[in-house]
Structure 1
Amino acid sequence: MGLKELLLLQIIAHLCLDYFFQTDKLANQKNTIGFKSSFLYWHGLACFVLAWLFSLQLSFALGAAIIAFSHFLLDGFKRHLNNSSYFGRYAFFIDQAAHLAILTLVVVLFNKWHGITTSIDVSINFKYLLIITGYLVCLKPANIFIREVFKATEIQVSSDNEMPNAGKVIGVLERILTLTFILVSQYSAVGFLIAAKSILRYGNNETLKTEYVLIGTMLSFGIAVIAGIVINFF
């Protein structure tokens, strides 16, 4: 296992921690009351365990601790960022960029100063890790990303800023299909999928709703297409 594989494993650990191992309710509690949230401390502990476990090496314990402590601090102070009159709408993007930047820095420095030597004899294929990462991104993280884009740009149709559950499921399915078609080089099928959704979803006279759906659709397909391009590039 090399630097690229370790970095991807840590990104997968982060995706699991922040998107699949916490509910929206617990995430909102953590973002609202910061260090007063009991869940934040369990979240920090889970971050350490996942970072260490996904490193596949006992010697990464210090690196995992640094990642977990920085994650704990960033999430604890995030409520102040959320309450900012200017940066509040971009809190999600700033927070995630900071997490990934620290994670990357820790992995790079660990590789430079210690070297990567797995504790178990396992062969890891970089492209397979990329494919797993791509599919993970196309699930819940993409839905949250699209929601936060709407929030940051103040685009909304109803009184809340949440996508209907049916829309979330449709988004996940279309991204999974799009990514799969790109990976098997069936690009014409992607065009057919977009055309089919256009016919089914845009046949109404509600201009604002149509534009809202169009933006969400372009973002959704865009995430899957970019993921597919990155995977095929490597």
Structure 2
Amino acid sequence: MGLKELLLLQFIAHLCLDYFFQTGKLAKQKNTIGFKSLFLYWHALTCFALSWLFSLQFGFALAAAIIAITHFLTDGFKRHLISSKHFGRYAFFIDQAMHLAIIAIVVMLYSQWHGIHPSFDIAINFKYLLMITGYLVCLKPANIFIREIFKVTEIQVSSDNEMPNAGKVIGVLERILTVTFIIVSQYSAVGFLIAAKSILRYGNNETLKTEYVLIGTMLSFGIAVIAGIIINLF
């Protein structure tokens, strides 16, 4: 295992922590009351555990602790960022950028000072690891990313008479299929999928909703296509 594998494993740990191991309700509570949230402390402990576990080496404990502490502090002060007049709407992106930057810095410094010495004899194929990461990104993280894009651009359309969470499920399915088609070089199938999605139509009096769906679709396919291209580069 080398530096790029360790970086990718830590990124997967972060995805699990911030997107799959916390609900929207708990995340909102944490962002609202900051250090007063009991969940924030549990979140930090989980961060340490996942970071250490996904490093596959006992010597990474101190680095995992640094990642967990900085994650704790960043999330604790996030409520002040959210309440900021100028940067509040960008809080999600600033928060995630800080987390990823800290992970990258800690892993690279660890690699230089300590060296990467896995405690378990496990063969790791970087491309397969990248594929797992791509599929994980296309699940809940992509839905949240698209939602935050809408929030930043102040795009909002009522969802009357629609199935709850149906759009999220459709988005996940189309991204999974798109990434899969790109990995196996079936690019024509991606075009067919986009064409099939275009069957969705609204009445002339629902132009705003049509544009809302179009923007969401473009973002969704864009994320999947970029993930597929990155995977194929390796």
When the two structures are superposed, what TM-score results if normalisation uses the length of structure 2? 0.97
Partner SS state of residue 195, structure 2: helix
Partner of 1:131: 131
Q: Deviations over 1:137-157 (max 9, x none)?
A: 000000000000000010111
Distance apart, 1:111 and its partner CA: 0.3
**Cα offsets for 1:189-224 (capped at 9, x unmatched):** 00000111111x224321000000000000000000
Q: Which amino acid aligns with 1:98?
A: M
1:111 match: secondary structure = helix
Equivalent residue for 2:203? 204
Q: C-alpha root-mean-square deviation of aligned residues, in Å?
A: 1.3
Please tell me the residue identity of whatever aligns with 1:67.
I
Find the counterpart in structure 1 of residue 58 from structure 2.
58
Q: What CA deviation, in whole Å up to 9, does each residue of 1:25-68 have, x standing for no partner?
A: 00000011100000000000000000000000000000000000
The one-letter amino acid of 1:204's match is: G
Residue by residue, what CA displacement relative to the aligned partner does 1:107-160 show, whole Å, maximum 9, x if unpaired? Answer: 000001110000011110000110000000000000000000000010111299
2:54 corresponds to 1:46: no
The CA distance in 2 between the partners of 1:55 and 1:204, in whole Å, is 52
Q: Which runs of 5+ in 2 are unaligned?
A: none
1:148 alignment counterpart: 148
SS at match of 2:12: helix
Match of 2:29 in 1: 29
Provide structure 1 residue ranges, at least 5 long, that are not aligned to the other structure: none
Q: Which amino acid aligns with 1:77?
A: F
- Would you say how many aligned residue pairs link Structure 1 and Structure 2? 231
Aligned to 1:230: 230
> Aligned partners of 2:24, 2:194: CA distance in 1, in Å?
29
Tell me the equivalent position of 1:193. 193
CA distance in 2, matches of 1:157, 1:225: 26
Once residues 102 and 204 of structure 1 are traced to their aligned partners in structure 2, the CA distance between those partners, rounded to angstroms, is 48
1:95 aligned residue: 95
SS at match of 1:45: helix
Query: Cα distance, 1:86 vs. partner?
Result: 1.2
Distance in 2 (CA, whole Å) between partners of 1:89 and 1:164 is: 25
Matched, 1:67 2:67: yes
